[in-house]
Amino acid sequence: MSEIFRNLARRKLRTTLTIIGIVIGILALTVMGSMSEYFNTLVDNAVNLLGTNIVVSPKNNDFESILTTGDERRVRRIAGVRDVIPITTDTIDELDAVSLGIPDIVYGVPPEYSSALFPSVTLEKGRWLERGDEYQTVVGSQIAKKRKLTLGSTIRYHDRDFVVVGIMNPTQTTPDSLALVNIDTARRLLKAPDLIAAMYVLPENPAWVDTIAENIRANVENVQALTPTEAIDQARQALAVFNIIMLSGAVLAVFVGGLAVINTMIMSVNERRHEIGLKKAVGATDGEIVREHLLEAAVIGFLGGVIGLLLGWGLAGLLNLVTAQAMGGSAIFNVTPRLMLVAIGFAMLLGMLAGFYPAWSAARLDPVKALRVDS
Partner 1 sequence: MLETQDVSLIYRNGEGMTYAVKRANVVVRQGEFLGLVGPSGSGKSSLLYLLSGLKTASEGEVSFDGKAYRHLGNDKLIQLRRTRYGFIFQQHFLINYLSVFENIMVGALEQSPGARERARALIAELGLEKQSQRLPWQLSIGQRQRVAIVRALINEPAIIFADEPTASLDQATGHQVVDLLAQYRGHGSIVFVTHDPEMLSQADRVIRMRDGEIVGEEKRNGNHGTP
Counting residues that bind partner 1 (by CB under 8 A) gives 18
* H or E element that contains 367: helix 367-370
**Toward partner 1, which CB reaches closer, 219 or 285?**
285
Compute the least distance from the CB of residue 295 to partner 1, in Å. Answer: 16
Q: Within 10 A of 168 (CB to CB), how many other CB atoms are there?
A: 27
Cβ distance to partner 1 smaller for residue 11 or 59: 11
Residues 273-312 close enough to bind partner 1 by CB under 8 A: 274-275, 277-279, 281-285
Q: Which long-range contacts (CB under 8 A, 24 or more apart) does 267-275 make?
A: 267/14, 268/7, 268/11, 268/293, 268/296, 268/358, 269/293, 269/358, 269/359, 269/361, 269/362, 272/362, 273/365, 273/370, 273/375, 274/370, 274/371, 274/375
Angle at 139 between CA 320 and CA 324, to 5 degrees: 10
Nearer to partner 1, 278 or 353 (CB): 278
Site for partner 1 in 7-66 (CB under 8 A): 7, 10
CB of 267 to partner 1, least distance (A): 15
CB of 297 to partner 1, least distance (A): 17
CA gap 250, 32 in Å, rounded: 7
Contact (Cβ atoms closer than 8 angstroms) between residue 186 and residue 158: no
Minimum CB separation of residue 281 from partner 1 in Å reads 5
Least distance in angstroms from the C-beta of 344 to partner 1? 27
Options 90-98, 177-185, 270-278, 321-329: segment touching partner 1 (CB under 8 A): 270-278
Q: Judged by CB, which is closer to partner 1: 207, or 281?
A: 281
Nearest to 197 by CA among 94, 56, 53, 51: 56
Per-residue contact string for residues 309-348; x = within reach of partner 1 by CB under 8 A? ----------------------------------------
Q: What's the Cα-to-Cα distance from 275 to each of 290, 292, 375, rounded to whole Å?
A: 14, 12, 12
Least CB distance to partner 1 at residue 355 (A)? 19
Q: Which is nearer to partner 1, 76 or 372 (CB)?
A: 372
Residue 332's CB is within 10 A of a number of other CB atoms, namely 17
Binding residues vs partner 1 (CB under 8 A): 3, 6-7, 10, 274-275, 277-279, 281-285, 367-368, 371, 373
